[in-house]
Amino acid sequence: MIFREAQISDILQIQIVRHSVKENVLSDPALVTDKDCEEFLTVRGKGWVCEVDGRVVGFSIADMKEKNIWALFVHPDHEAKGIGKRLHKEMLDWYFIQTKENVWLGTAPNTKAVKFYRMEGWKEVGIHGNGEIKFEMSFEDWNLKNNRRELEKQS
């Protein structure tokens, strides 16, 4: 597995991953265009990908303009291998180097994503958009999470 910063040339494979997911499926795939991906990767924020055998199998994108997580998806064939966790860490480490402001995200209720974000220390703060659960992460909570990880590694 190779984790690296996402490039514009990754957008086709990013879209393949995005359209392959079984939860948080786009109601209309045309809602997220290649141009949108390019803007989020180059103007609004930054993204990361995980490659296996030269193919993107997961990606994450942080949006600095809205202070939110725009995307974190792993291809269903590659779930439960630590890919989402690593992409999440890379993204939030970078985000909190840029700003100390809280970051938020929205995800559909009753999904694996909800469990994942709770385990990663996100706090539910309400409802967003069309019934999604809105989560927030503070700089302080992220640092506590990272410090706990380091202590667990050492013991």
pLDDT at 150 over 80: no
Q: Are strands 103-107 and 2-5 parallel, antiparallel or unpaired?
A: unpaired
User: What pLDDT is attached to residue 155?
Assistant: 66
User: What pLDDT is attached to residue 22?
Assistant: 76
Instruction: Give the tens place of pLDDT for each residue, 50-101.
Output: 999 999 999 999 999 999 999 999 999 999 899 999 999 999 999 999 999 9
**pLDDT mean over 122-127:** 94
Structural domains of the chain ordered from first start: 2-154 (3.40.630.30)
